[in-house]
Amino acid sequence: MNPTSLNEQQHHILFDSNAVGEIVPQWFEIEYWQDLAQVTATGRGRGRAWFVESKGRSMVLRHYQRGGAMSGLLGDRYFWQGLENTRAWREWHLLATLWQQGLPVPQPLAAHVIHTGLFYRADLLTVKIPASRSLSDYLLERSLQPTDWQSIGQLLRRFHDAKIFHADLNAHNILMKDNLEFYLIDFDKGKIMAKTQNEAWKEANLQRLRRSLQKLSMIDNGFHYTDADWTSLLTGYAK
């Protein structure tokens, strides 16, 4: 991996020049790709992203969008506190570190920041994980075997052992491949915890996922999740 920076007026781009030979700001505009590639939307609401299939390359383009009370006021704008502190820059560097360590995350391609006065907007481009879908979508159709839930637990334990905090651990951000390999995505606001940090964050992280699964099962009676599944996940986590 070779992190490379490109600056054009208010546009700032950080990319892996080993994976992307050249890049322009237009790469982060979905309108640019619609005439050149096969483009499909994925996700819902604030988590929406775009799958881009172009010249044999499969990518995911995600625009950073606020949620909560501030979304109505600022939309997709964030307060500028320096390039290194932008959400795109931080997530790109975190993904690069995890990907080089061999952890199951998307390969980061490029981060994009548009700086205007007191604010910035941002985008992230990653390699699409092939033949995959979210855990939440899968469980709407069918159940997982106890051994698969154990695999998810082992996945989470692997990240926790590496001191990786996922700020939004939920059923939408766990991806499954057709061969039942599992990945974590969306590391916005994630971080590597200090070795001296107490371990309470790990349990809080797990409980966030549990609440996500419980919420989805309450919304849809056909959602395939039970307390026994959670027990299987914890069995895998403990191994």
- Tokens 């994009």 identify what position? 112
Phi-psi region of 43 (alpha: psi -120 to 50; beta: other; left: phi over 0): left
CA separation for the pair 116, 176 (Å, rounded): 38
Q: Is 168 a catalytic residue?
A: yes
Catalytic residue among 16, 123, 148, 168: 168
Residue 117: CB atoms within 10 A of its CB come to 8
Catalytic residues: 168
